[in-house]
Structure 1
């Protein structure tokens, strides 16, 4: 999710489409939040691991 967010963020900045930039930024933030919560050992959405 973080990688997809970074790709969309960069694409939005290069092309000049603000919607892609916004969606990319949101995906980066949400992905980082889920990553941190998972790394601390908390269950996210009822699951301990996503893989």
Structure 2
């Protein structure tokens, strides 16, 4: 069975928090997947791909 693959980001912020998120290509800001709010103090992000989406 084939699954749709969705790419997202694991976002790291200066306060030690790690969140799943996405990046606005127009503003360059990172937003949390949980609530869509802007993530302040981002120091890095890694792409991830899920083999199952819900």
Name which structure has the greater RCO, CA cutoff 8 Å, separation 6+. Answer: 2
For Structure 1 versus Structure 2, the TM-score category normalised by the shorter chain is under 0.3
TM-score (norm 2): 0.22
The structure number with the bigger radius of gyration is: 1
Structure whose residues are more often helix by fraction: 1
TM-score (norm 1): 0.23
